[in-house]
Amino acid sequence: MNLLGIDTGTSGTRAVLIDGAGRVLSVAAAEHPPIASLYPGWAEQHPGDWWRAACRAIRDCLAAGGASAAQIAAIGLTGQMHGLVLLGDEGNVLRPAIIWCDQRTSDQCRAITQSLGAERLIELTANPALTAFTLPKMLWVREHEPAVWARTRSILLPKDYVRFRLTAGRTTDVTDASGTLLLDVANRRWSGAMAALLQLSPAILPALHESHQVTGCISDQAAAETGLRAGTPVVAGAGDQAAGAVAMGIVRPGAVSAAIGTSGVVFAATGKPFLDPRGRIHTFCHASPGLWHVMGVTQAAGYSLRWFRDQFGAKNPSSSAGPAAAGADPYDQLSAEAAQAPPGSDGLLWAPYLMGERTPHLDPLARGALVGLTASHTRAHVIRAIMEGVAFSLRDALAIFAELGLLVDSIRLGGGGARSRLWRQIQADAYGMPVEIVAAGEGPAYGAALLAGVGSGAWPSIQSACDAAVRVVERIEPDARSAALMDRQYAAYKKIYPALRGIASQGS
């Protein structure tokens, strides 16, 4: 028996095939076209590109694993959260999807908050109105593209569009639905009050399931396009952060993960819905029934390093000026270069607010900056400062957890940032706590495959799946001297945003 996980990410789609013991058999990925940004702050992708990438990744994954489609017992889905897909009468896509990092909906967020009141909004949905969430995007389309809205018959989230193409079902799960601002998170159901207050028809919302529940089966048409077997069950799955947490075994209260992908997320499992009255962190349903999670988000975590790579390139770390070695991973090169600078980057600081910020500032107009540059700083200092600044931004979320009395027993690292030995040590030093790495580093797609296993009966619960399949392979202790230095740097880092806000507001 094998299990397949499919992750519809921002930059590409990833498929992971595992066996019944949780061992990875094969992995394949297919890139998406670049994000379209017609105007500053806009971010759109076409759902058809996700489907084409999924078909390619699935076929390549099966071929790489030498597995037949008949051996796959179930399929799990995950993907980028918050994106808005609008479907018409025949299931046709009406416009490009507005994705998670789009910032155009500030006016709609203010209108939602003013019409309901900030406290009432958190009571109803456990979260404040943020530009990333799906509901403000819906209101933007209704206001600015009324002809499109009039033709809308259903809305889907990104991974659920892939499900629609696989099974023809219009379904989502409670973790992904938590990020729409339309879910009664505490009771794990759509909020009739939110729909009524904003004059939205509940009929346009997808059916709602727990993450391990079967939502449909592979259709004949999807089987022909993907190489999968018609009739194979597809479970609900989870949003990328919840699925990634499952992949790291964050399925009991006190367990925390810190994942650096395009965005950065600090994720803590809780035994009850936990509300921050100030709305600085998100409270969502966990993939495991009976659990919730709190989450702090940095908009441009790994994206900060990608921005530097795209604008300034990567050099061969063995050369002071030569071009990057052919075929070498540019992020490995950047990490090697950053290691030439000392902890603390000789006072240089990076504020990673390239796309606004969510935790803790809730400010789509926040702006990034390098602070403290001197003539003695080098490229190595800048790269290391970027890596340290991202770690400080994630520490902001941990500071809120501590303030609110949330238990943190352990921190496990995930995402692309966990592949860098330097970034692992930087995080241990910045958090002042040991951090752990798990064996399967395939992220949300691996978690989706585990959820598929629970749905197919391979394991009786999500906790038992994680106990059987998730294994810690490395523990990194903070260096006492570096951790003390990082404490001082973090204190300076926290002073940057107020100054930046004043400058940004003058230029807006």
pLDDT (0 to 100) of residue 504? 63
Listing DSSP states for 412-470 in one string gives: EEEEGGGG-HHHHHHHHHHHTS-EEEES---THHHHHHHHHHHHHTSSSSHHHHHHHH-
Contact 84, 134 (CB under 8 A): yes
Using the CB atoms, write b or e for 425-448: b if 16+ within 10 Å: bbbbbbbebebbbbebbbbbbbbb
Q: Is residue 290 part of a domain?
A: no
- Are residues 68 and 160 both part of a single domain? yes
The CATH number for 138's domain is 3.30.420.40
Distance CA 25, CA 17 (A): 5
Same domain, yes or no, for 16 and 103?
A: yes
Q: Is 363 a catalytic residue?
A: no
Q: Is residue 279 part of a domain?
A: no
pTM of the model: 0.87
Greatest extent of the chain over all pairs of C-alpha atoms, in Å: 64
344-355: b (≥16 Cβ within 10 Å) or e: bbebbbbbbbbb
Average pLDDT of the residues in 227-240:
97
Do the domain assignments include residue 278? no
* Domains in the chain, number: 2
What pLDDT score was predicted for residue 327? 66
Q: What is the pLDDT of residues 235-293, one digit of tens each?
A: 999 999 899 999 999 999 989 999 998 889 999 999 988 888 888 888 999 999 999 99
Using an 8 Å Cβ cutoff, are 457 and 486 in contact? no
With beta carbons less than 8 A apart as the criterion, state whether 351 and 500 touch: yes
Above 50 in pLDDT, residue 323? Answer: no
Q: Does position 502 have pLDDT exceeding 80, yes or no?
A: no
262 is a domain residue = no
Burial code of 254-293, b = ≥16 C-beta within 10 A, e = fewer?
ebbbbbbbbbbbbbbbbeebbbbeebbbbbbbbbbeebbb
Whether 267 is in a domain gets the answer no
Question: Coil, helix or strand for 508?
Answer: coil
H/E element, 292: strand 292-298
Q: Are residues 416 and 467 located together in one domain of the fold?
A: no
Residue 506's pLDDT is 54
At which residue do the structure tokens 């696989």 appear?
166
Question: Which tens digits make up the pLDDT trace of 122-177?
Answer: 999 999 999 999 999 999 999 999 999 999 999 999 999 999 999 999 999 999 99
pLDDT tens sequence across 194-222? 999 999 999 999 999 999 999 999 999 99
Domain co-membership, 302 together with 171: no
Q: Could you give the percent of the chain with pLDDT greater than 70?
A: 97
Of residues 240, 276, 396, 429, which has the active-site annotation?
A: 240
79 sits in which H/E element: strand 72-79
Mean pLDDT of all residues in 347-372? 92
Q: 96: number of CA atoms within 13 Å, CB side?
A: 16
| Nearest CA-CA partner of 295 in 258, 249, 248, 246 | 258
Asked whether the predicted pLDDT for residue 315 surpasses 80, the reply is no
Structure confidence by residue, pLDDT tens digits, 379-393: 999 999 999 999 999
Task: Identify whether residues 461 and 485 lie together within a single domain.
Answer: no
Alpha carbons within 13 angstroms on the beta-carbon side of residue 39 total 5
Q: Is residue 396 located within the same domain as residue 465? A: no
Q: Is residue 382 part of a domain?
A: yes
Mean pLDDT, the chain, as a whole number? 93
In angstroms, the Cα distances linking 220 to 1, 92, 228, 387, 388 are 21, 19, 9, 47, 49
Q: Beta 282-285 vs 292-298: how paired, if at all?
A: antiparallel
- Using DSSP bridges, classify how beta strands 435-438 and 410-415 pair: parallel, antiparallel or unpaired: parallel
Taking residues 61-67, report their average pLDDT: 95
CA atoms within 13 A on the CB side of 475: 6
Q: What is the pLDDT of residues 23-40, one digit of tens each?
A: 999 999 999 999 999 998
Q: 322 and 179, same structural domain? A: no
Q: What is the pLDDT of residue 160?
A: 98
Residue ranges in 145-216 assigned as alpha helix (H): 146-151, 158-167, 174-177, 192-197
pLDDT at 292: 96
Q: What is the pLDDT of residue 410?
A: 86
Query: Same domain, yes or no, for 236 and 314?
Result: no
The phi and psi torsions of 467 (rounded to 5 degrees) equal -60, -35
pLDDT digits (tens, 9 = 90+) for 290-305: 999 999 999 899 999 9
| C-beta of residue 443 within 8 angstroms of C-beta of residue 466 | no
Q: Is the pLDDT of residue 406 over 60?
A: yes
Q: Rg of the chain's alpha carbons, rounded to an integer?
A: 22
In this predicted structure, the answer to whether residue 322 has a pLDDT above a threshold of 50 is no
The first and second tokens of residue 304, run together, are: 């900060």
pLDDT at res. 254: 87
pLDDT in tens, 345-358: 999 999 999 988 88
pLDDT band at 325 (very low <50, low <70, confident <90, very high): low
Mean pLDDT along residues 110-118: 94
What is the CB neighbour count within 10 angstroms for residue 396?
A: 21
> Do 208 and 114 fall within a single domain?
yes
Residues of the domain holding 180: 2-248+443-472
Is 455 found in the same domain as 389? no
Specify if 165 maps to a domain.
Answer: yes
Query: Does the pLDDT of residue 314 top 90, yes or no?
Result: no
367 and 451 together in one domain: no
Same domain? 24 vs 69? yes
* Both structure tokens of 445: 């797609």
The confidence score (pLDDT) of residue 505 equals 57
Residue matched to tokens 């592979």: 218
- Any domain includes 274: no
Which of 474, 470, 418 has its CA nearest to residue 18? 470
